């Protein structure tokens, strides 16, 4: 996997002043190890498990390939996910949970807090929290512009249900691809 320093403003999936890369490890660079709370590890695992949903919600392109863990070469995954915290979006590979659980990687405190505080992908609250970070080509017309009025943009409940349905199909496709 390509290495990025923790809190770097760019990584393979996203870049910009709002981006903080987390957990883009390799075997050449030392990383901080230590204890993490069970609560954090469990929540982080849920983020990793819903990486396909996060990828879809953020309108990221899919990287069709595998990252293999360079530390043990026993685990691989191909997706990434985002954790919103106000103006900041932490961007981590799906494998970050493996790094924490199997290699005692201890991410920066601010990321730990963001994971504990953030709603999980697949929730309305998450969609709202990451709306500002969504890639523009994935936004409905008028979204994010000054004076945007949802009532003017058509039936939003219809849009939401179509989106939820598409998200379900997309998740299945990503799961199949990431296992092949």
Closest distance to Zn ion from the beta carbon of 1 (Å): 11
| Residue 132 DSSP label | G
C-beta separation of 98 from 41 below 8 A: no
Looking at the Cβ atoms of 76 and 167, the one nearer to Zn ion is: 76
Short-list 81, 116, 95, CA closest to 25: 95
Looking at the Cβ atoms of 71 and 177, the one nearer to Zn ion is: 71
| Residue 14 DSSP label | -
Looking at the Cβ atoms of 79 and 114, the one nearer to Zn ion is: 79
Closest distance to Zn ion from the beta carbon of 63 (Å): 19
Q: What residues contact residue 147 under an 8 Å CB cut-off, 6+ apart?
A: none
Closest distance to Zn ion from the beta carbon of 95 (Å): 8
Closest distance to Zn ion from the beta carbon of 104 (Å): 11
E strand intervals along the chain: 19-21, 67-68, 76-77, 80-85, 88-93
Looking at the Cβ atoms of 23 and 82, the one nearer to Zn ion is: 23
C-beta separation of 96 from 105 below 8 A: yes
Closest distance to Zn ion from the beta carbon of 73 (Å): 7
Strand partners, 10: 15
C-beta separation of 80 from 55 below 8 A: yes
The residues binding Zn ion (CB under 5 A) are: 69, 71-72, 75
Looking at the Cβ atoms of 20 and 98, the one nearer to Zn ion is: 98
Strand partners, 92: 81
């Amino acid at each position: 996997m390509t290495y990025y320093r923790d809190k770097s403003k760019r990584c393979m999936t996203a870049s910009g002043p709002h981006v903080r890369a987390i957990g883009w490890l390799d075997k050449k660079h030392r990383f901080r190890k230590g204890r993490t709370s069970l609560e954090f590890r469990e929540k982080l695992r849920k983020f990793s498990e819903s990486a396909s949903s996060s990828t879809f919600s953020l309108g990221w392109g899919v990287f069709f390939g595998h990252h293999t863990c360079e530390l043990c070469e026993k685990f691989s995954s191909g997706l990434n996910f985002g954790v919103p915290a106000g103006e900041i979006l932490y961007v981590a590979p799906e494998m970050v949970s493996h790094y924490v659980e199997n290699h005692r990687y201890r991410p920066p405190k601010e990321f730990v807090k963001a994971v504990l505080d953030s709603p999980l992908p697949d929730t309305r609250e998450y969609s709202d929290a990451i709306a500002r970070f969504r890639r523009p080509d994935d936004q409905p017309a008028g979204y994010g512009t000054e004076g945007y009025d949802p009532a003017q943009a058509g039936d939003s409940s219809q849009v939401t249900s179509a989106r939820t349905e598409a998200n379900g199909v997309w998740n299945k496709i990503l799961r199949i691809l990431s296992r092949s």
